[in-house]
Chain A
Amino acid sequence: MEFNNLKIDFTEEQSMVNASAKEFCADNSDTKRARQLIDSELGFDTDTWDEIIQLGWTGINIDDQYGGMSFGISAAIPIVEHMGNTMMSIPYPSHLLASELIGRLGDQSQKSQWLPPLCDGKRGTVAFLDNEDWGSEPQLKLIKKNDHYLMTGEKLLVSDALSADIIIVLATIDTHPVFVIVESHMLKPQDLHPRTLIDETKRAADISLQNIIIEETQIMHASHEIVRDIKLLGSLLMAAESVGVISITLKTIVDYLTTRKQFGKLIGSYQSLKHPTVEILLEMDSAKSLVYHAASIIESGTLSIDSQIACHMSKAKASDALSFAGDRAVQFHGGMGFTYDCDAMLFIRRAQWANQQFGDPQYHRNQLAKLIFD
C-alpha cells in the first residue's frame, strides 16, 4: 500500500484558461440565467456555445493536427469548475468526454473524420448506461450481419443526447466492449425519450436503438481499461463541476447568514449555523485539492493506479461535499429555503443529480478499497 503521489501542478496553459474561464462564465451565467434556461428545450444557450467554439475550448483537449489546442483534458478542469461556479448549464463536459474518447481510442481515420468537426463545435456525448448501475458491464450487443453490424437495444439517461450531433454508444461484440460512433441523424426523433430530471438545468434522454446499421468504420474496439478510464475522466469532470457548485452554494449561504436577522442578531453569528458552514468550506477545499491533484497527474494513455485513485477520490469527496452543501443551503434559508424561488433549490437538486453521475461516493470508495486493500 504505497501511494504517496502528492503532485499538484498548475501549468501556464491552465493559468491562462483559468483567467479567461472565470471571466467568460461570470459574463454569461448566473442563477437567474440558469433559471431562464430551465424552460428551454435544449437547456442551454447556443450563442454561449458559439462563444466557447470561438475560444477554442471545444477542442482544448484535442491534438492540433485535428484542429484542437493540444492542451490535454486537464486544461479544461478550470473551465468546468467555473461553469459550476456560475451554474452555467451547457453540454460541455459531455462534449469533452466524447472528443477525449475518440482522441484516446480512435484509429487514424476515425480521428481524422470525427475530431475536426468536434473541435469546430459539433457536439458530442457518450451513452454509457444499460441499466441504473454505473458499475455494471456493458450489455448492448452488436450483431454481425454480412459486412456490417446491427445494433438493437436501449441506452439510459444519456446526458445531452437531444443536443448532441455525435453520440458514442458503449456496446459489446461477443462480450468485448466497443464504442460505436453514431451521428444523431441516424436516429429518428422518436427514438429519443427525454427524461424528467431532478436537476432541471440538466438534460438527459433514453435512446431506443432499432436495427441501426453500424459500419466497421464507426466502431472503436475498446478494452476494459479504456472503458474504466473514460468513466474515471467523466468522474473527474463531474467532481470539478461540483467543486464550482459548492463554491456558489457556500457564497449563497454566506450572503444569507450575513444579512438575515433573527432574535435581533445576524444568523451567521450563531455557531449552530457558522460551524457547519465552515465544514462546507473545509470539505470543498479537500475536494478541490484532490481534483487539481488528479488533473496534474492523469496520463494521455492508460491511467496509472495513482491517477485512478486520484479520480475516484475526487468524485467521492466532491459529491459528498456538494450533497452536504446543498442540504445545508436549504435548511439554513429557513422558510425561504423551502420555496422554488430560493437558489438553494438549484443547488440541492444539482447535488442529487451529480451524486449519481458516474457512480456515487460509495461506489467510488468501493473501487478504491479494491485498488488499495486487495
Chain B
Amino acid sequence: MHNNKHSKTELSLFRKKVSEWLRINKPKDPGFLLPQTFMEIGSEQVLNFLREWQFKLWSSGFLGMSWPSEFGGQGLPPIFQKIADEEMKKQKVPICFNVIGLGWAGPLIIDIGTEEEKRKYLKGILSGDDIWCQGFSEPNHGSDLGSIQTKAERSQDSYIVNGSKIWTTMGNFAKYMILLARTNNDSDRRYDGLSFFLAPMKIPGVSTSPIRKITGDYGFTETFFTDAKIPASTLMGEEGHGWSLAMKLLQYERGAEAGAAGGISIIPTTVEDVVEVAKTTKKDGISSLKDPITRDELIKLLIDQKAIYLGERRATFNELCMDFPNSLPLSSKLRMTEFSRRLRQYALTVQGAAAAVYVGDKKAIQSGFWQRAYLNNFSTTIGGGTSQIQANIVGEHVLGLPKD
C-alpha cells in the first residue's frame, strides 16, 4: 500500500527538514549520562527525560510516520521514517525508549490486532504515555523459550497467570507486557502450548523487583505473577499459537519497512569514537595516536569492524559463501557482540590513568560513558544466548562438529 512514488526532490527536502529540526531541537546535555540502549533506564529522571524527547519527536511528526493516521501515525510510506531515522543516527540524538511498543507490540497490533486494540494501544506507544515491556525469559531457563513455565489458565472470560519472568526491561515502569505463557501442559511439542498476551501490569497479582546490574544501575526487573487475572481478550491470535507470534516479532525489528514505528533504539559505538578518545590522551609522553602500540591496536579493531560491515554484504552473494554456507548469518551475533566488548574495553585502555574512574567522577572522560558502556556490553555477550553457546551453534551447525 506504500508504493506511492515520491520524487527525489521531495525526499531530499524532507531530509533537510528533519536534519534542521533535529539540529535545533536536539536536547542539551542533561547533566547526567544518557543510555545507549533502552535496557539502561535506571531512574525516573532518565525515564522522564527520554519520555519527553520521544513525545517531542512524535508530536513534531518524526515518529510513527508510517503507522495509520487514525491511530497516531501519518500513513506515510516507510521511506520517510527511514530518512528520519538516518538523520537521528547521524546527529546522535537520544534513543526512543519505548522500544518494545514501537518495534514489537505496535507492529504486531497493526498486523493482526482488532480495531479496538489499535485504538486502545497504538497512540500511547507513540506518545510514550504507555510503556511496554516484554515477558519471555524466565529464571533458570535463560533464553530457552521452549522451557517457559509461567502458566495462564483459562477461567471464564479471564486467564489466571502464575509464574515469574526475568530480565524484564522497564518492568517497574511498564503499563503493558507482551507475555508468553503456557496455556497447555499436555501438548507433545513444548512450543505448542504457548500463548501470547498483551497483559496489563498495573493489576493485583503482578509485582516487580528491580535487578541491580553490574554497572550499579537498574534497568531490569524480575516480574512475579501470583493469581494475576487478565482479561481473555488480551490473548493475541489463537491459544497455543504464541510461539509463532513471538517469532513474527523478530522481523519487525528490521526497521520502518518491516512495520516498526522508527526512532533509534541504540546508540552504537565505533572505532572512530575510540580514535576520538585517543586523540585526547597520551602514552609515554606522546599523543596516543602517535604511540605505535596504540595505533596497532586501533588498526586491528578497524580491520575487524570493516570485516563485520563487509560480511553483511558478502552474505548476499551465495557464490562467495559456498565453502561454509550460513557461516556469516549464524556467527553474526557472536562476531558483533564480542567485537564490541573488545572495542569498549580498549576505549578504557587508551584513557591511561583516567580509565580508573567511573560514572559520577567529575573529571571522567565523557562522564564515564566508556566505563559504563564496557560493563553494559556484557548484556549482549550473555543475553540472547551467551557467546559460548553461540560458538557451539556455529561449530555444530556450520562446521558439523559433534555436540558435547
Q: How far is the CB of A222 from chain B (nearest CB, A)?
A: 28
Cα–Cα distance between A1 and B274 once the two chains are bound (Å): 12
Chain B 311-334, CB-CB to A under 8 Å as 1, else 0, gives 101100101100110011001001
Contacting B at CB under 8 A, from A1-33, are 1, 6-8, 10, 15, 18-19
Q: Of B289, B395, B402, which contacts A278 at CB under 8 A?
A: B395
Q: Of A1, A18, A266, A373, which contacts B295 at CB under 8 A?
A: A373
Task: Say yes or no for B203: interface residue by CB 8 A criterion.
Answer: no
Task: Say yes or no for A231: interface residue by CB 8 A criterion.
Answer: no
Q: Is the CB of B401 within 8 A of A257?
A: yes
Return the chain B residue nearest A279 by Cβ. Answer: B391
Q: Is the CB of A372 within 8 A of B299?
A: yes
Q: Is the CB of B404 within 8 A of A275?
A: no
Q: Is the CB of B404 within 8 A of A18?
A: no
Task: Say yes or no for B303: interface residue by CB 8 A criterion.
Answer: yes
Chain B 191-202, CB-CB to A under 8 Å as 1, else 0, gives 000000000000
Q: Of B298, B317, B327, B388, which contacts A281 at CB under 8 A?
A: B327
Q: Which of B309, B335, B394, B403 has the most CB of A within 10 A?
A: B394
Task: Say yes or no for A219: interface residue by CB 8 A criterion.
Answer: no
Q: Is the CB of B328 within 8 A of A269?
A: no
Q: Is the CB of A274 within 8 A of B404?
A: yes
CB contact under 8 A between A10 and B402, given known A365-B300, A368-B302, A372-B299: no
B-side contacts of A285, CB under 8 Å: 307, 311, 324, 327-328, 331
Q: Which of A19, A282, A285, A287 has the most CB of B within 10 A?
A: A285
Q: Is the CB of A290 within 8 A of B317?
A: no
B-side contacts of A270, CB under 8 Å: 404
Task: Say yes or no for A54: interface residue by CB 8 A criterion.
Answer: no
Task: Say yes or no for A36: interface residue by CB 8 A criterion.
Answer: no
Task: Say yes or no for B382: interface residue by CB 8 A criterion.
Answer: no
Cα–Cα distance between A6 and B335 once the two chains are bound (Å): 18
Cα–Cα distance between A7 and B316 once the two chains are bound (Å): 12
Q: How far is the CB of B325 from chain A (nearest CB, A)?
A: 12
Contacting B at CB under 8 A, from A263-293, are 265-266, 268-271, 274-275, 277-278, 281-282, 285-290, 292-293
Task: Say yes or no for A202: interface residue by CB 8 A criterion.
Answer: no
Cα–Cα distance between A278 and B400 once the two chains are bound (Å): 11
Q: How far is the CB of A244 from chain B (nearest CB, A)?
A: 9
Q: Which of A85, A257, A275 has the most CB of B within 10 A?
A: A275
Task: Say yes or no for B8: interface residue by CB 8 A criterion.
Answer: no
Return the chain A residue nearest B308 by Cβ. Answer: A286
Cα–Cα distance between A109 and B65 once the two chains are bound (Å): 64
Q: Is the CB of A254 within 8 A of B299?
A: no
Q: Is the CB of A6 within 8 A of B401?
A: no
Q: Is the CB of A271 within 8 A of B392?
A: yes
Interface residues on B, range: 35 or more
Q: Is the CB of B401 within 8 A of A282?
A: no
Q: Is the CB of A8 within 8 A of B310?
A: yes
B-side contacts of A287, CB under 8 Å: 307
Q: Of A6, A19, A266, A274, which contacts B310 at CB under 8 A?
A: A6
Chain A binding site: helix, strand, loop or mixed by DSSP? helix
Q: Of B314, B319, B388, B403, which contacts A289 at CB under 8 A?
A: B314
CB contact under 8 A between A282 and B319, given known A254-B401, A277-B399: no
Q: Is the CB of A316 within 8 A of B303?
A: yes
Cα–Cα distance between A257 and B396 once the two chains are bound (Å): 12
A-side contacts of B328, CB under 8 Å: 285
CB contact under 8 A between A281 and B394, given known A254-B400, A274-B401: yes
Task: Say yes or no for B117: interface residue by CB 8 A criterion.
Answer: no
Q: How far is the CB of B51 from chain A (nearest CB, A)?
A: 34
Q: Which of A85, A271, A362, A373 has the most CB of B within 10 A?
A: A373
Task: Say yes or no for B304: interface residue by CB 8 A criterion.
Answer: yes
Q: How far is the CB of A121 from chain B (nearest CB, A)?
A: 28
Cα–Cα distance between A317 and B307 once the two chains are bound (Å): 9
Q: Of A247, A266, A316, which contacts B323 at CB under 8 A?
A: A247
Q: How far is the CB of A15 from chain B (nearest CB, A)?
A: 6
CB contact under 8 A between A1 and B275, given known A274-B392, A288-B320: yes
A-side contacts of B311, CB under 8 Å: 285-286, 289
CB contact under 8 A between A281 and B399, given known A275-B388, A290-B303, A372-B299: yes
Across the A-B interface, give the 8 residue pairs with the lowest CB-CB distance, nearest first. A286-B307, A289-B310, A369-B295, A268-B401, A269-B402, A365-B299, A274-B395, A269-B404
A residues whose Cβ falls under 8 Å from a Cβ of B: 1, 6-8, 10, 15, 18-19, 85, 247, 250, 254, 257-258, 265-266, 268-271, 274-275, 277-278, 281-282, 285-290, 292-293, 313, 316-317, 362, 365-366, 368-369, 372-373
B residues whose Cβ falls under 8 Å from a Cβ of A: 272, 275, 289, 292, 295-296, 298-300, 302-304, 306-311, 313-314, 317, 319-320, 323-324, 327-328, 331, 334-335, 388, 391-392, 394-395, 398-404
